[in-house]
């Protein structure tokens, strides 16, 4: 099923009300503060100079000298990557973000979801989300580098890796396995809390990145997104403070969930997933307090929560769980 968090319209339609707290995604609810933007970002076509400046800053932020392309979110990369090679056998380490499988199937790939890294060996295209959504599983750089030698192309989706740079393979994306069979995806909207900007990046070998850029067209990223992305990625103080805050808040929400009788399945700095006796009942309990959460069609017990953004939101979640 191609279902997603962030479907707050469904919550309103099913439960009524307008004062919802959307915890169904892993988007930071304390976003980077966007300053006033030059009028030109709204009136002029995006320039090559602005694209180059953003990619230079992204290379610094993600510690990569690999070729890269800016896209309309990591989602656009997910949709374009199946077009880089003739359809074949794709394997996805799951369960995970379902758009990878959906995009591959739409382009004629045979898709199999597997449970371990070893099960990916031999695939024409392998997908690993690292750290994983929704259970937070993660894999070392070395284990993924080893895997890349045994698949046709390895796609590593690092959409939730900003607080854990030690996991990132972005630095290896341009030269791994000499043939350049690695693509690393990075999201902007989640950690910086600006999903509406629609900005993401793909790092890889020169040929693959050039083909992605060609498929995306001349203006995949708006002038406003180029400006905001460059400024936000430059703000290392905000990045450090946000990682520290999120680490404290994940412990806080885990304690609240434990008091409610839920056990921790896993998670990242931006979301936590729990095992409950009945996930649908848990979701409905929160929905009565107009708090929207995420449950999954493949598990009757898993529920995922993003982190509240304000003291009032934290208090409301505590009341709903108590």
Spans of all domains in the chain: 8-31+237-321, 39-234
Nearest to 283 by CA among 95, 15, 98, 17: 15
Please name the fold of domain 8-31+237-321.
Answer: 3.90.1150
Nearest to 24 by CA among 306, 318, 315: 306
The span from the CA of 33 to the CA of 55, in Å, is 21
Percent of the chain whose predicted confidence (pLDDT) is above 70? 98
Confidence grade of residue 176 (pLDDT, cut at 50, 70, 90): low
Q: Which long-range contacts link 242-248 to residues 24+ away (Cβ below 8 Å)?
A: 242/28, 242/30, 242/163, 242/191, 243/162, 243/163, 243/269, 245/30, 246/28, 246/163, 246/270, 246/307, 247/163
At residue 267, the 3 state secondary structure works out as: strand
Nearest residue to 162 (alpha-carbon basis) of 252, 287, 272, 246: 246
Instruction: Find all residues with CB under 8 Å of 273, minimum gap 6, and list them.
Output: 134, 135, 136, 264, 265, 266, 267, 302, 303, 304, 305
Do the first three CATH levels of 8-31+237-321 and 39-234 match, i.e. the same topology?
no
pLDDT, position 179 = 59
Distances (CA, A) of 168 to 141, 162, 173, 243, 318: 7, 9, 10, 16, 34
Closest CA to 204 of 156, 245, 246: 156
pLDDT at 68: 96
Whether residue 109 is predicted with pLDDT greater than 80 in this model: the reply is: yes
Answer CATH for 39-234 from 1.10.274.10, 2.60.120.260, 3.40.50.720, 3.40.640.10? 3.40.640.10
Which pLDDT value is given to residue 173?
Answer: 84
Helix 99-106 and helix 73-80: axis angle, to 10°? 40
Give the list of residues 6+ apart from residue 240 with CB closer than 8 angstroms, or none. none
Quick: pLDDT tens for 257-316. 999 999 999 999 999 999 999 999 999 999 999 999 999 999 999 999 999 999 999 999
């Amino acid at each position: 099923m191609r279902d997603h968090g962030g479907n707050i319209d469904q919550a309103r339609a099913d439960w009524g009300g307008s004062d919802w707290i959307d915890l169904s995604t892993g988007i930071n609810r304390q976003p980077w503060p966007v300053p006033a933007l030059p009028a030109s970002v709204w009136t002029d076509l995006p320039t090559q100079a602005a694209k180059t400046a953003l990619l230079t800053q992204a290379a610094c932020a993600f510690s990569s000298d690999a070729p890269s392309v800016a896209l309309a979110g990591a989602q656009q990369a997910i949709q374009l990557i199946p077009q880089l090679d003739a359809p074949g056998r794709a394997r996805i380490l799951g369960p995970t973000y379902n758009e990878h499988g959906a995009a591959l199937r739409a382009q004629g790939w045979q898709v199999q979801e597997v449970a371990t890294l070893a099960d990916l060996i031999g695939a024409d295209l392998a997908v690993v989300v690292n750290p994983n959504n929704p259970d937070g599983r993660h894999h070392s750089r070395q284990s993924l580098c080893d895997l890349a030698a045994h698949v046709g192309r390895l796609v590593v989706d690092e959409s939730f890796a900003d607080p854990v740079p030690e996991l990132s393979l972005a630095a290896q994306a341009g030269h791994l396995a000499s043939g350049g069979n690695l693509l690393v995806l990075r999201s902007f909207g989640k950690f910086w809390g600006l999903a509406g900007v629609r900005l993401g990046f793909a790092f890889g070998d020169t040929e693959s990145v050039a083909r992605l850029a060609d498929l995306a067209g001349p203006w995949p990223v708006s002038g406003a997104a180029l400006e905001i992305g460059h400024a936000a990625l430059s703000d290392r103080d905000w990045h450090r403070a946000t990682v520290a805050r999120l680490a404290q808040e994940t412990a806080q929400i885990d304690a609240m969930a434990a008091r409610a009788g839920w056990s921790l399945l896993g998670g990242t700095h931006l979301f936590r997933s729990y095992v409950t006796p009945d996930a649908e009942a848990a979701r409905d309990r929160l929905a009565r307090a107009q708090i929207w959460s995420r449950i999954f069609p493949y598990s009757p017990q898993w529920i995922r929560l993003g982190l509240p953004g304000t003291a009032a939101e934290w208090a409301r979640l505590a009341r709903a769980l108590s």
